[in-house]
A = this chain, B = another copy of it.
């Protein structure tokens, strides 16, 4: 009958749930190379027999592997180990404050300037607002252990987030404030390297021309531009991101 079990569920609290154990089993075989790319993994009914469970259970596991990008499935043909998608990788970028704190350094923040203006031609290359739309332009410095860590150059579209005009960015991080007022959003990131110009160099307390890591992030909410931010990190000091990738993930 439904809900009962013949061996599998008599010991549910052993370690993890059944589908987690099956998932781990299959992942191990794939990641270790025991099943190399192109290999056909057992059919659902075979896995049912091996693990003594219902088809829904193995199906759930296999669907998860598809979502993780580890396998692909074709009707009538079976399920196959996928080839890793090129030299691709999934990275994760923490926010600046978390980044500094995770390095065990003290974090500080200063608002250098905050001005309201109508979008210029240059602004509109960074943030897709109408010509003349009101913007808030912020320049902030992130400090780690007393030394400049990153320079933040941010535009906020006041048409999309009018409350930002009244926020006090001298005490509150713009990124944090936005998170609290614009719950979920889409973002696009762009990483490049550039030499520090005179003003940037002075604000970061590095020589002019220092190679900097520049991270640009543009943010939308339902198609409306919210903010565009450029973060300048002195590249000679320390790095930005590190992340390992057990799977291609996020492919779809």
Contact A33 B195 (CB under 8 A): no
Checking B36, B183, B190, B221 against A183 with a beta-carbon cut-off of 8 angstroms, the contacting residue is B36
Chain A interface residue number, banded: 35 or more
Contact A184 B84 (CB under 8 A): yes
Instruction: Tell me the chain A residues, 94-133 only, with Cβ under 8 Å from chain B.
Output: 94-96, 98
Contact A250 B92 (CB under 8 A): yes
> With a CB–CB cut-off of 8 A, which chain B residues contact A37?
183-184
Q: Is A217 an interface residue (CB 8 A)?
A: yes
Q: Is A169 an interface residue (CB 8 A)?
A: no
Q: Is A50 an interface residue (CB 8 A)?
A: no
Q: Is A191 an interface residue (CB 8 A)?
A: yes
The count of identical subunits is 2
A3-11, A41-49, A235-243 - the one binding chain B = A235-243
Q: How many angstroms between the C-alpha atoms of A179 and B82 in the bound complex?
A: 12
Contact B246 A249 (CB under 8 A): no
Given contacts A88-B92, A91-B189, A95-B87, contact A184 B31 (CB under 8 A): yes
Q: Is A22 an interface residue (CB 8 A)?
A: no
Contact A193 B179 (CB under 8 A): no
